Amino acid sequence: MTAAEDGLDEVMVALAQRAHARNRDRARRVAELLTAPAGTIEPAAYEEVARLCHTMAGSAATFGEEHLAAASARLEAVLREGPDGDVPAALDALRAAAGTD
């Protein structure tokens, strides 16, 4: 392996670690927004959560975190399906995949 390849590997590892930390922060924010007392969650919060989940899913998939990508995509889908979806179960799966539970 060349010095340039070693350097690239180091950069990729650093990027993956940074992405993981950001995704953990996103997962914490999602949980914070969705665990507000019943009836106090603003409609805009659901849109923010869906956006965060979408971002997390793409980032996690890019860096090989398949479980986090799937859990993020699932929660986004549940939120977009409407109020009948199982948000608590999808949120629990996201927390577990992100390592924030």
- Position 83 scores a pLDDT of 63
- The per-residue DSSP string of 12-61 comes to HHHHHHHHHHHHHHHHHHHHHHHTSPTT---HHHHHHHHHHHHHHHHHHH
Q: Which of 31-35, 40-44, 70-74, 80-84 has the lowest mean pLDDT?
A: 80-84
Report the mean per-residue pLDDT for the chain: 90
Per-residue model confidence as pLDDT tens digits over 56-94: 999 999 999 999 999 999 999 999 887 667 889 999 999
- Position 82 scores a pLDDT of 75
* Alpha-carbon separation of residue 46 from 8, 21, 26, 32, 78 (angstroms): 38, 22, 14, 12, 11
